[in-house]
Structure 1
Amino acid sequence: MSLQDIVSALQRFPGLSALNFHGLTQFLRYSCMARENVAFRQVNSRRPPPVLPVDIATTLASALNVADIQLIQTCWAAFKELLWDHPAITASSDEIYTYNKAALINSTSYRHIYPPVRACTNPHCSHYRNNHETLTLTDPSTHKATLHTRDHGALPVYTTSLSCRKCHRRYYNDHYVSHESRLRVYYTGVPDVLQVAKHFFIESALLEVFANGMVFGWISASNWARIYECALAEPNPHMRNNRLAFSASHAVLTSLKSIAADWNLEMRDEDVLNGFYLYSLLLDRAEHQGILVLPDDESRQRDRLQPALAERNKAMEGTGQEHWAHACDLCFIVFEDDAGNLLKMQSAHCDGDTIGHRCCKVHDCKAPLPSNRDHHCSKHTHLALECAVVECTAKVVAGHRTCADSAHRALETAYFSRGKALFQLRSRLKKAGVAVPNDSLLPGDNVEDDDEVIIEASCDGKAEAGNRTLRAYFGARRTHNEQLIMRSCGVILARATLFGSESVSAEFAKRVFPTPESTPEFFVFDNNCQLDKHQRSTKDTHFKNTGKPVDVFHFKCKHKLTDLHCQRYCNPAAFPEFICDGKWRFNTSICEQTNVWFGGFISIVQDMEVTRYNFYLDEMIKRRNRYIVAQLEGKGHFPWTIPRQTLFPKLV
């Protein structure tokens, strides 16, 4: 908008002289803030209406402190053509406060949330239009809502959905619901705003901040909610959090909470986590040119997401990570042999980290628990009625975890005494001013929900049998570890949960390298000696062309010189091609280094339900891989172009 445009409008509408320059510029800015609201009500949104809707005109008059609404309509008549095509503005916090103070009482708001379509998208419906500037949707339903933004904090807003009277689809800001199928079908792509709960919305830009904080800062959903409330939810957080320091210069701070008493503007940890899962699913569908479909029922948002999370988890198993076929000059070496032939050398590294989720107490049972408070899966629930002492199948006494045997009861007493003693010791630490790492055990808590505890005691048996040791398992059991397979450059190829122990059957490795073309020349694993023995004894030839050295750290510390098989087949020095100029060609300690990052999630995921647990860790790996690859590209570590179909033809 040029000055000539303004002068021309003033000449055509002399009544505008009642406004000063500041009032005029504010009218123009507030009108741009209201433009989307006005446009969505038009039958044809390409043209501005001749007059403003009454609620919008009233809102602008109140925001500008103008008593004459006709003056607002005159301003609109003068500038409507220019305003309709004007670029979107970036509103300040003060402008949002002033606008919403006037708008909320008129059942509208800054960032009023609408569906992205104005016409029915069902090609079988008579109201279908491929030009979405034309309005065929009707029956608006408007509600109060909260929008959590990255730049302007928590905003009280209104949200409106529209319906098609012919096919009865109802359209919301990020999805539509079919009346017949009762399915929630999300639009293609990733919207700017996601509905994470009923009447709660979060910007995608803010969810991206949350996701990166989880990856690189190990920030939990509850801590992100606290950070948002303290530092992002309202403008000028440095002043609000330090009022004594800023009281002289900023005695009054405007707050949207003061004009939105009927809105719940609080960021909840469940909203952060549900938003992260929904955002990640939509990104995944967009990357694969798919559409996200969820059930539309009365269940909670976390339950509604479960089927889609489980589907993505299944796709991630084995070769599902997008950088599974990664190769760079830190993990993929091409060299000439004595005859001048080009040969490749590629390594993969495997190790476990003791992160785990709750699982059935029966050893190596992979069936999911009905809930995280249960200790057995549905198949083994009857075992909850048996004594907690190993090999004792007697029924438990009501109110106890053991049978009536006095020796067994003594173990149970020791278990619960452990909990009480732990609480007492933690109380003493707190009084001494020492931070307590785990504050979950409080007076009256049920100790049964604690992690699995093994208690042993000596029991006097018959004279000829001597003493024997009793072992009792209390609390919930956890999976043994999370196994990672990665390249020596740090890119993680796959993750798997081991329920029992670090198995030597190599089934996980076979799923990651399922064809002869995909197997690496070297597979570095701290338990390779047992793996190699197992494969030789079972005549398993899947990795016949793969060397199996133990990484240098574990070989020096944990493998005996007397183990001849280990020394012969798994000593890294036994592979001369693994060494160049007296140095290892590959970083054999990459797993230990990566576990420092991966282990940071243990406190975040330890109580997650298994489906969300698997999705969360896979998403963390996916995002970290992208960062690692970007760093490698920036440092020039990508001389090789490795088409997936060339190295792995049977998988394409």
Structure 2
Amino acid sequence: MLLRELAQLVLEYPIYGDIELDDLIQFIHLAKLIRPAIEITQKDKRSPPPRLPQHIHEFLCAALGKSTSEILWYWVGFRAAVWTCREVAARRVDVSAVHEHGLCRGLGTSRDTDDVMTLTEPVSYRATLFTLRDGALPVFTTSLYCHACLRRYHHNYYVEASDSRRTYYDGPPPSIIQVSTHFFVEAEVLELFGNGMVFGWLSARNCARLYNSSLAHPAAHVQNNPLAYGATAHQLPYERDWPYSLELQDEEAMNGFFLYSLLLDAAEHQTHLELPHHLSQKDRLADALHLRNKAMEGVGQEEWPHACDLCFMLMKDESGNLMKVQYAVGDGLSIGRPCCAVHDCKVNLASKRDIYCPEHAYLAQQCAIIGCELPRVPPTQTCTLEAHQAVERAYRSDANRAIHKLRARLRNNGVSVPGEPTAAEEMDDEVLVSCAQRPDDTTVVLCASATCDEKPSGTDITGIKGRFGRRRTHNEQAIMRPCGVYLSRATLFGSEALSGVKEHFKAVFPTAQSRPEIFIYDNNCRLREHLLANGDDYFAETGLPVDVFHFKSKHRATDTQCQLHCNPAAFPDLVNGDKWRVNTSICEESNTWLGGYLAIVRDMEAVRYTFFLDEMIKRRNRWTVKQLERKGHNPWRIPMSCLFPEFAK
């Protein structure tokens, strides 16, 4: 509304001359904030209704402290301004007014941006919105039905009446993401979580704790430090009465981040996301996460065609012709997730608590002792053989708990513990597992030393091995550029076998044009022998040196073949005078960052584990490229037609 229009209105209706400017601004702000609730009652949303719905009229009266007739005059005079003015940011005072006077009348601070005029049959329900600047807010969300296209439109997606799938809207993700039925999270919050995971190794639980402690309440610094500010913590009325938690849970934090990442990925590829509708949010995301994981394998990372002056060089050959020299570095990292107990089985577990995958589930009915095929005797995991049962008793014995071991140390030093059983009583019928057993290793090996205090008596079980728990994948294999950009990551299951490293390398560099001239790996001498033994000439044009650190400290100087073919000093493309051209240990150094996720991913389900690590690498690559640009290295991407000749056809 222009000032001259306001002046003309006052001339025609002098009653408007008595309105305070602050009251008018607050009226427009509040009416604009609850406009979606007004639009729901209309058939045509292009113009404001002549009269406000009764519950909205009552809300404005209570929030502004005005009479019914005053609000009526306000609406008649300024409804056009409410409908046509630009989008206004919700002020804290407006949000508080909605909470105090609107929640009891079915009004919330959510907004519906759908402009379709044929939508009817509104269905509203309560929910919680987690915002970056205004904290956790109680809101109402509304879905609408279209009789023309037979779809119900929700905030982020629509559902076909004849289908059980939800289709998310095209384009960039909305500013508010519905992460479950009753919980919404601002995209800004999810972006904060993503950066916290990349740069701070935050788990979903710690992201939720960070939000609840620092962002859920607008005055968190006062609430967290009542003595310093001389204030006492207080609860707002809606915090006691709202049926849905105003504290963010780790499940919503992780599901929200995964959904946000999928929506970003769909927008980046100019497509849209489709998910099942009638499932839990965790199960709903599973298939979409799996498809993205498959797309990431090999050449899927967006920075895979990356090149810069730290990893791509032009040199002259002996004839003076220009030739390109591109480098790649590989290394393994010992982090993993639960997997099938059968060695090198790559089939995912049906549940992360299972020991065997569906294909090997029948083995769960056999004795857990390795090599024994007799059926187990429920509820134990071993057969009827006493020696095998003794191994299981050792595995499950309470004597393996720290408190029993520490009490045993006291007794060994002549100190009695009042009220505790004697050594003879405590050791009766117990078999202790060797202290050499790794905490994460589910294979039990009984102590074989005759002098060891933990050797059981009465039963000869020396050397018997049993598997009673889950196996974990062996390591993550990463391939990088010397500048710090990750090209790919793959999970190796049973071991860091040379065949697995070779197949990963082939997947990352599938064409002759994409293969690097130099591939640096800490076990290249054995890899080279493996290739020769198998007659594999895939890497015939690629130099295979060992990185400087491992070659200097881990490889024998007497190994002639290793010295002759894998000594990095023997590669002119790696040497510039008395200095190295590239950082051959970049993978070893960068994997300290990737290893920070050990505690976060160790119990993740397979699909989520893979998606999470790939997403962390994708985000870190973007940051790395920005740092290279700031330092003047001018990163760019090699055209796909150069790496895949079939693209040029």
Scaled by the length of structure 2, what TM-score is found? Answer: 0.88
Distance 1:490 1:171 in 2: 44
Q: Does residue 1:489 correspond to 2:483, yes or no?
A: yes
The aligned counterpart of 1:534 is 530
Distance 1:13 1:237 in 2: 47
Q: Does residue 1:349 correspond to 2:329, yes or no?
A: yes
**CA distance change for structure 1 residues 253 and 396 in 2, over 3 Å: closer, same or farther?**
closer
Q: Does residue 1:647 correspond to 2:643, yes or no?
A: yes
Aligned partner (choices 552, 556, 564) of residue 552 of structure 2: 556
The aligned counterpart of 2:429 is none
Q: How does 1:185-584 map to 2 (within 5 A)?
A: 185-189=167-171, 190-247=173-230, 250=231, 255=236, 257-258=238-239, 260-297=241-278, 299-417=279-397, 420-422=400-402, 451-457=440-446, 458=448, 469-505=463-499, 506-584=502-580
Q: How does 1:88-99 map to 2 (within 5 A)?
A: 88-99=87-98
**CA distance change for structure 1 residues 236 and 496 in 2, over 3 Å: closer, same or farther?**
same
Letter in 2 for 1:179: A
Structure 1 residue 253, shift from structure 2 partner:
5.6
Q: Provide, for residues 184-210 of structure 1, a one-character-per-residue CA deviation record: whole Å limited to 9, x for no partner.
A: 111102112121111211111211111
The aligned counterpart of 1:87 is 86
Distance 1:62 1:617 in 2: 51
Structure 1 residue 241, shift from structure 2 partner:
1.2
The aligned counterpart of 2:33 is 33
The aligned counterpart of 2:457 is none
**CA distance change for structure 1 residues 219 and 39 in 2, over 3 Å: closer, same or farther?**
same
Letter in 1 for 2:369: V
Letter in 2 for 1:227: L
Q: Provide, for residues 525-563 of structure 1, a one-character-per-residue CA deviation record: whole Å limited to 9, x for no partner.
A: 111111110111111111101011111111122222232
Question: Which region of structure 1 is more displaced relative to structure 2, 37-46 or 562-571?
Answer: 37-46
Letter in 1 for 2:209: R
SS at the partner of 2:329?
strand
The aligned counterpart of 2:413 is none
Answer yes or no: is the 8 Å Cα contact 2:306–2:635 preserved in 1. Answer: no
Answer yes or no: is the 8 Å Cα contact 1:362–1:376 preserved in 2. Answer: yes
Answer yes or no: is the 8 Å Cα contact 1:13–1:74 preserved in 2. Answer: no
**CA distance change for structure 1 residues 468 and 47 in 2, over 3 Å: closer, same or farther?**
closer
Distance 1:40 1:260 in 2: 26
Q: Provide, for residues 375-402 of structure 1, a one-character-per-residue CA deviation record: whole Å limited to 9, x for no partner.
A: 0011212222333332233333333333
Question: Which region of structure 1 is more displaced relative to structure 2, 71-80 or 150-159?
Answer: 71-80
The aligned counterpart of 2:107 is 108
Q: Provide, for residues 495-526 of structure 1, a one-character-per-residue CA deviation record: whole Å limited to 9, x for no partner.
A: 11000111212011000001111110111111
SS at the partner of 1:469?
coil
Q: How does 1:625-640 map to 2 (within 5 A)?
A: 625-638=621-634
Answer yes or no: is the 8 Å Cα contact 1:459–1:470 preserved in 2. Answer: no
Question: Which region of structure 1 is more displaced relative to structure 2, 226-235 or 489-498?
Answer: 226-235
Q: How does 1:107-126 map to 2 (within 5 A)?
A: 107-111=106-110, 113-114=111-112, 116-119=113-116
The aligned counterpart of 1:153 is 135
Distance 1:71 1:645 in 2: 69
Distance 2:479 2:487 in 1: 6
The aligned counterpart of 2:588 is 592
Distance 1:606 1:309 in 2: 18
Question: Which region of structure 1 is more displaced relative to structure 2, 141-150 or 253-262?
Answer: 253-262
SS at the partner of 1:400?
coil
Distance 1:251 1:89 in 2: 33
Question: Which region of structure 1 is more displaced relative to structure 2, 217-226 or 412-421?
Answer: 412-421
Structure 1 residue 453, shift from structure 2 partner:
2.9
The aligned counterpart of 1:433 is none
SS at the partner of 1:267?
coil
Structure 1 residue 418, shift from structure 2 partner:
7.2
Distance 1:258 1:493 in 2: 47
Distance 1:527 1:423 in 2: 43
Question: Which region of structure 1 is more displaced relative to structure 2, 528-537 or 333-342?
Answer: 333-342
Letter in 2 for 1:140: P
Letter in 2 for 1:257: Y
Letter in 2 for 1:607: D
**CA distance change for structure 1 residues 482 and 395 in 2, over 3 Å: closer, same or farther?**
same
Distance 1:84 1:90 in 2: 15
SS at the partner of 2:552?
helix
Letter in 1 for 2:441: E
Answer yes or no: is the 8 Å Cα contact 1:370–1:378 preserved in 2. Answer: yes
SS at the partner of 2:346?
coil
Structure 1 residue 58, shift from structure 2 partner:
1.6
Answer yes or no: is the 8 Å Cα contact 1:490–1:590 preserved in 2. Answer: yes
Answer yes or no: is the 8 Å Cα contact 1:155–1:256 preserved in 2. Answer: no
Letter in 2 for 1:509: F
Letter in 1 for 2:100: K
The aligned counterpart of 2:422 is none
Answer yes or no: is the 8 Å Cα contact 1:526–1:554 preserved in 2. Answer: yes
The aligned counterpart of 2:57 is 57
Q: Does residue 1:618 correspond to 2:617, yes or no?
A: no
Letter in 1 for 2:249: R
Q: Provide, for residues 388-444 of structure 1, a one-character-per-residue CA deviation record: whole Å limited to 9, x for no partner.
A: 33223333333333334343333323322377423667999xxxxxxxxxxxxxxxx
The aligned counterpart of 2:412 is none
SS at the partner of 1:266?
coil
Letter in 2 for 1:583: K
Distance 1:266 1:599 in 2: 30
Q: Provide, for residues 134-174 of structure 1, a one-character-per-residue CA deviation record: whole Å limited to 9, x for no partner.
A: x1111111111111111111111111111122443111111
Distance 1:61 1:484 in 2: 63
Letter in 1 for 2:641: Q
Unmatched segments (≥5 aa) in structure 2 = 409-432, 434-438, 451-459
**CA distance change for structure 1 residues 394 and 628 in 2, over 3 Å: closer, same or farther?**
same
Letter in 1 for 2:591: N
Letter in 1 for 2:442: V
Aligned partner (choices 175, 183, 190) of residue 157 of structure 2: 175
Distance 2:473 2:462 in 1: 28
Q: Provide, for residues 83-140 of structure 1, a one-character-per-residue CA deviation record: whole Å limited to 9, x for no partner.
A: 32322222332321122211112211222x43x4343xxxxxxxxxxxxxxx111111
Distance 2:384 2:185 in 1: 55
Question: Which region of structure 1 is more displaced relative to structure 2, 56-65 or 535-544?
Answer: 56-65
Answer yes or no: is the 8 Å Cα contact 1:184–1:296 preserved in 2. Answer: yes
Distance 1:254 1:48 in 2: 37
**CA distance change for structure 1 residues 387 and 634 in 2, over 3 Å: closer, same or farther?**
same
CA RMSD of aligned residues (A): 2.6
Letter in 1 for 2:371: E
Letter in 2 for 1:365: C
Answer yes or no: is the 8 Å Cα contact 2:34–2:107 preserved in 1. Answer: no
Answer yes or no: is the 8 Å Cα contact 1:521–1:546 preserved in 2. Answer: yes
Distance 1:621 1:419 in 2: 43
Aligned partner (choices 163, 171, 183) of residue 145 of structure 2: 163
Question: Which region of structure 1 is more displaced relative to structure 2, 185-194 or 411-420?
Answer: 411-420
Answer yes or no: is the 8 Å Cα contact 2:398–2:404 preserved in 1. Answer: no
Q: Provide, for residues 275-304 of structure 1, a one-character-per-residue CA deviation record: whole Å limited to 9, x for no partner.
A: 11111111111111111111111x211101
**CA distance change for structure 1 residues 467 and 214 in 2, over 3 Å: closer, same or farther?**
closer
SS at the partner of 1:472?
strand
Scaled by the length of structure 1, what TM-score is found? Answer: 0.88
